[in-house]
Amino acid sequence: MKRAINPANTRSRRIARGGGVLMLIAALLVSSAVVRAAAGYGGGHALTSRDAATLGIEVHPSPAEPATGTRTVTSCPSDDEIGALVTELSTRLKKVEEREAAIAAQEARLAATRKEILQKLEALEDAEARLSGTISRVETGAEDDISRLTAVYENMKPKEAAELFSQMAPDFAAGFLARMRPDAAAAIMAGLTPRAAYAISVVLAGRNAGAPRE
């Protein structure tokens, strides 16, 4: 048994199929336009908000891709604006390079000054060491000379030594007598005049006055 064909239903199916084809064609046209627009701007790369801010482009959030931070470009900077941006960046770079050069020059000067100071300190230490050695040799030589001269006075006859000591200043004579053996010093003191012996005794007593006592 053949089924009756309803002309109204057939017409509806044709209309539905025709509408679907039109929608597909419209979607393809829209997709093609989007691809051409993307290829014409940035070689197919999405422009982020940070890039747009760097270039000075006014952008608005794209409702299609809110999670990726992609923006829809609404206006591009002019050649003058790009030139001004390049000039500003060049000026900043030049200032940074000048500051780095100044810092490097200052560090070089400080290094040279430090080196000079170290050299002067080393020379001063060498001079101080030489001076200390010279003073030590002089003091040792003077001590040796005084010791030898004291031995000479000790070996002289007391009368001759007393005549010599009577011509000395009391503090000078007291220095030699303090180094002599007690018996030799006593013999020389006995040959001095009472005035000279007293003056020398005062000097000797004054030297020992500050000595600690038990």
Tell me, letter by letter, the H, E, C secondary structure of 105-121: HHHHHHHHHHHHHHHHH
Burial class of residue 157 in the structure, from the number of CB atoms within 10 Å of its CB (0-12 exposed, 13-18 middle, 19+ buried):
exposed
Give mean pLDDT, residues 35-64.
49
Looking at every residue in the chain, the average pLDDT score rounds to 75
CB 173 within 8 A of CB 200: yes
Band of residue 209 on the pLDDT scale cut at 50, 70, 90: low
Rounded Cα distance between 120 and 113, Å, is 11
Band of residue 83 on the pLDDT scale cut at 50, 70, 90: confident
At residue 165, does pLDDT exceed 90? yes
Rounded Cα distance between 66 and 72, Å, is 11
At residue 193, does pLDDT exceed 80? yes
Residue with tokens 């500051």: 99
Q: Which two tokens stand for residue 38?
A: 């993307």
Band of residue 38 on the pLDDT scale cut at 50, 70, 90: very low
> 3-state class of 60 per DSSP?
strand
What pTM did the predictor assign? 0.38
> 3-state class of 181 per DSSP?
coil
Alpha carbon 187 to its chain's center: 73
Rounded Cα distance between 45 and 65, Å, is 14
Band of residue 124 on the pLDDT scale cut at 50, 70, 90: very high
At residue 62, does pLDDT exceed 70? no
Burial class of residue 161 in the structure, from the number of CB atoms within 10 Å of its CB (0-12 exposed, 13-18 middle, 19+ buried):
buried
The predicted-structure confidence for 93-111, as pLDDT tens digits, reads as follows 999 999 999 999 999 999 9
